[in-house]
Chain A
Amino acid sequence: MAEVVITGIGLVTPLGRSPAEVLGRIAAGEVASQPSPLGEALACPLVAPVADFDPQQYFPENKALRLMNRDAELAVVAARLAVQHARIAVGRTYPADEIALFGATGLSGIRLDQIARLVEHAAAADGSLDLDRFGRVALRRIRPVLSFKILANMPMCFVSIFEGVCGPNAVYAPWEGQGAQAIAAGIRAIRRGEVPCALVGGCDVKTHELALVSLQQLGVFDSWVRHGRGTIPGEAAAFLVLEDESRAHQRSARICARIRRYAFRSMAAGWLAAERSEAPAGAAAGEGATARRQASSADVPRRHCFCEGLAHGTLGHAHDERGHGTQHGTRALAGMFFSLTISGRPGVIAAGDGDVAVSQAERAALERSGIEPSSIFYPKAHLGNAFAAAAAIQVALAAELASRGETRTVLANCLGFGTEQGSFVVEAV
């Protein structure tokens, strides 16, 4: 079975566009955040956008950019950076149909401004949906290409078009775990000999209003409600070039790191449904959002979530009072880590993103599985959480850490919302 190595990394994150830059800024304690566009209406007061991003810098005069939403713009740039980093010429280094593309995208990327006019013209005087007006008037107020912009597979299709990649493919959605599945799909395609090379990654934009509303209702910000701190929704894209190690050596590729093993765990515990029956404290029906939220952008410490929960990891199941914390059964995560058979003291790229329950469960699972980390990084606590892109970022930073030689083996955890959790063992070559 082929060994799989990382030979290219492309990142577009709030803290930089190379693993070295991102790790450096994390080490310096930077936290990417700015006030949420929803302000006081949301439990989480912050978002982590990518500043100063202009895809025209990378693809000047490219008309296809007009058909893209921001998630696709981030994706095509990150993919281009990864391919360039790997020094791959698609069609020459490998035939285009021998490069696979597996990616993850997030919750629908449709933005409020894209449908505001439709909503305005489809609303009856009493605020109900007026289907007669919708058909006669409102439909004419939206751009026909909107459907293409918001289809979940479009970012990866644009990546294929921009890079000329034609191989096996799939698109997964919408959380961190599915981003990890995309990486694993690339690994599997190489290991079974279907392709020698795969472009894998994800993109996500969780900084606009509709996404934030959905995240709030899904319980992603419950840690903010409970503890006044939690995950900061962000945006990013990240891609990795994976190659069959022997083929990478043949072409004298620069190898960043090897992905030795990976493991997945589907959580058996109820996802959201079981918890939805009980509203969180202070969130009784009719109570305003402001009362529920316990912090504002002004009073949140800049490093509010860094390493939170590390000191009190608990064995057994980590219980958040409600919401997505409960899915992170410590026992299940420990079983996943244990299956990776890690020896020595690895570095850990932790999944902890400020959510108290996630941090507790992750730490407890590491302890339970006998892993004593030599160092722990919490990238999401600095970068924000760009859900579908997070796994590729985690693995990219693990590769950077391993390549520096500070620690030979790095465990990259992709634990988060949803039921799917993944973890990768990345090692220096």
Chain B
Amino acid sequence: MTRVVVTGMGIVSPLGIGREAFWSGLTAGQSGIGPITLFDASTFPVRFGGEVKGFAPGPVIERFPAAAGSRDRKLLLALAAAEEAIADAALPHAALREGLLCVGVGLESFCLEDLTAHARAENLGRALARSILARYDSPWFQTPLDRTAAILGDRYGLLAGRYTNCSACAAGTQVVGEAWQMLCEGHAAVALAGAADSMLNPLGLGGFSLLRVLSDENDRPQRACRPFDATRHGTVLGEGAAFLVLETLDHAADRGATVCAEVLGYGSSLDAFAVSDPDPSGRGAVASMRRALRSAGLEPGQIDCVSAHATGTPKNDAVETAAIKEVLGRRAYEVPVHAVKSMTGHMIAASGAVEAAAAVLTLARRTVPPTINLQAPDPACDLDYVPAEARAFHGDIVLSNSFGFGGQNATVILGRSGDLP
């Protein structure tokens, strides 16, 4: 069977821009959460989130002029992360040209200002249409979801197929898994797989706050996301992007690439339960993990670490804990289970990709990141969640979960590159 390895990664996150900033913040147990500064959210029910601080769109647009027509922040985050991943892999453009692209993105954004400008019009739709037609070269009212793939394709080729995955919170993990599957099946030798999202805009933050899934602890934002803690009461929106360069082992070896980790398996499942809540039985989460284990040819006892979905909502964390125990059995109590989102917030579509990158770094740097803000034990969450401080990691295999709104679940398994040439 074809083996697939990770040879590069790029990360733009609330913990910093670039892989090293992310890893440094993650292992230091820093919180990337703070008051919203991207717009005036002072009258919003929720006024904090995990912003990518210091991100300057200008230089990204300079390097990708095709992005100039978009006002979509997640597009720019994606381009920055993808560029870092390609540079990190030292991958020649000729290799990328025949490669595969799998991009996960979140909800389409549109420009509210274009609408409010015509709020008093007799017919808002027609007024909007006329104004947009009259300013043909104006930024887009709505950035299509495949725009990231199109721009990356224009730049790098990636002619083996460009997939735009919209599986909500599962998207970032699905793109890594699907890229792995297609490389194993021989569709290409190289893949760029990653995801980006930013819901930190008025409609995104406002809309999510109405769903009552967000913590509203505006007075202590850095403590607000508390996965597995007994007092947890909601997640925190974040934004970010991460891309991985995947190659077949043969391709990587031929060009003398540095191997960071190996992708061992992938699985996905559906709850088929409800669009707003996870199935309390955890059946979908269990199926996703088991499918990933099966595809990797691994036994539960071989898993050494779990990067949990762990959003910090009361239901999700308890269901995931139970599912991990069902899948791993006694092993569940022996392995570290950590929550990246305790520090980054929930980056929605991007989360899975960022967490896959964190898993690669966990393996490569031999360190498990902590779960911060975990102070009050919850009897329903009784695993080793690596509270507060990072710790040394001596294992070889990490399992990373993503469970999405609507009941889409995905799991990817990564292995240490120690035995690889």
A interface with B by C-beta (< 8 Å)? 37-39, 41-43, 64, 67, 96-97, 101, 105, 107-108, 110, 112, 115-116, 119-120, 122-124, 127-136, 139, 142, 144-148, 150-154, 156-158, 160-161, 163-175, 178, 181, 185, 188, 192, 194, 209-210, 212-214, 216-218, 264-268, 270-274, 276-277, 279-280, 283, 285-289, 292, 418-420
Task: Beyond the given A124-B116, A265-B159, A420-B162, please list 14 additional residue pairs across the A-B interface where CB-CB is below 8 A.
Answer: A37-B125, A107-B142, A146-B207, A147-B207, A153-B167, A167-B269, A167-B270, A192-B185, A194-B295, A273-B66, A279-B136, A418-B144, A419-B162, A420-B146
B56 sits at the interface (CB 8 A): no
Whether the pair B164, A173 counts as a contact (CB closer than 8 A) is yes
Q: A213-B141, A266-B153 are in contact. Are A170 and B129 (CB under 8 A)?
A: no
Whether the pair A210, B125 counts as a contact (CB closer than 8 A) is yes
Q: A41-B130, A139-B45 are in contact. Are A266 and B159 (CB under 8 A)?
A: yes
B405 sits at the interface (CB 8 A): yes
Q: A148-B276, A168-B267, A216-B129 are in contact. Are A129 and B136 (CB under 8 A)?
A: no
Whether the pair A285, B134 counts as a contact (CB closer than 8 A) is yes
CB contact between A173 and one of B135, B145, B206 (< 8 Å): that residue: B145
A50, B419: Cα distance in complex, Å: 58
Chain A residue, CB-CB nearest to B138:
A217
Whether the pair A419, B153 counts as a contact (CB closer than 8 A) is yes
Q: Which residues on B sit within 8 Å (CB–CB) of A166?
A: 269-272, 283-284, 287
B202 sits at the interface (CB 8 A): yes
Whether the pair B129, A289 counts as a contact (CB closer than 8 A) is yes
Choose the segment among B106-114, B228-236, B244-252 that binds chain A (4+ C-beta atoms closer than 8 Å). Answer: B106-114
Whether the pair A165, B406 counts as a contact (CB closer than 8 A) is no
Among B116, B154, B269, B274, the one with the most A-chain Cβ atoms within 10 Å of its Cβ is: B116
CB contact between A161 and one of B39, B141, B273 (< 8 Å): that residue: B273
Q: Which residues on A sit within 8 Å (CB–CB) of B119?
A: 119-120, 122-123, 127
Q: Which residues on B sit within 8 Å (CB–CB) of A108?
A: 107-108, 110, 142
Whether the pair B154, A157 counts as a contact (CB closer than 8 A) is no
A172, B166: Cα distance in complex, Å: 5
Task: Give, as a whole number of angstroms, the nearest-CB distance from B406 to chain A.
Answer: 3
Q: Which residues on B sit within 8 Å (CB–CB) of A285?
A: 134-137
Q: Which residues on B sit within 8 Å (CB–CB) of A418?
A: 144, 146, 150
Q: Which residues on A sit within 8 Å (CB–CB) of B107?
A: 108, 150-152
Whether the pair B146, A152 counts as a contact (CB closer than 8 A) is no
Q: A268-B159, A289-B133 are in contact. Are A129 and B202 (CB under 8 A)?
A: yes
Q: Which residues on A sit within 8 Å (CB–CB) of B185?
A: 188, 192
Task: Give, as a whole number of angstroms, the nearest-CB distance from A80 to chain B.
Answer: 14
Among B136, B149, B161, B295, the one with the most A-chain Cβ atoms within 10 Å of its Cβ is: B136
In which size bucket is the chain B interface? 35 or more
B268 sits at the interface (CB 8 A): yes
Q: Which residues on B sit within 8 Å (CB–CB) of A127?
A: 116-120
A146, B275: Cα distance in complex, Å: 12
Q: A119-B112, A266-B160 are in contact. Are A288 and B287 (CB under 8 A)?
A: no
Chain A residue, CB-CB nearest to B43:
A135
B29 sits at the interface (CB 8 A): no
Query: What are 13 A-B contacts with C-beta separation under 8 Å?
Result: A38-B126, A127-B118, A127-B119, A135-B41, A153-B408, A160-B270, A165-B272, A171-B408, A172-B163, A173-B164, A174-B146, A209-B129, A419-B149
Whether the pair A152, B168 counts as a contact (CB closer than 8 A) is yes
Whether the pair B270, A209 counts as a contact (CB closer than 8 A) is no
Whether the pair A38, B129 counts as a contact (CB closer than 8 A) is yes
Task: Give, as a whole number of angstroms, the nearest-CB distance from A173 to chain B.
Answer: 5
B393 sits at the interface (CB 8 A): no
Whether the pair A116, B406 counts as a contact (CB closer than 8 A) is no
Whether the pair A158, B275 counts as a contact (CB closer than 8 A) is yes
CB contact between B125 and one of A168, A209, A273, A276 (< 8 Å): that residue: A209
Task: Give, as a whole number of angstroms, the nearest-CB distance from B2 to chain A.
Answer: 12
Task: Give, as a whole number of angstroms, the nearest-CB distance from A210 to chain B.
Answer: 7
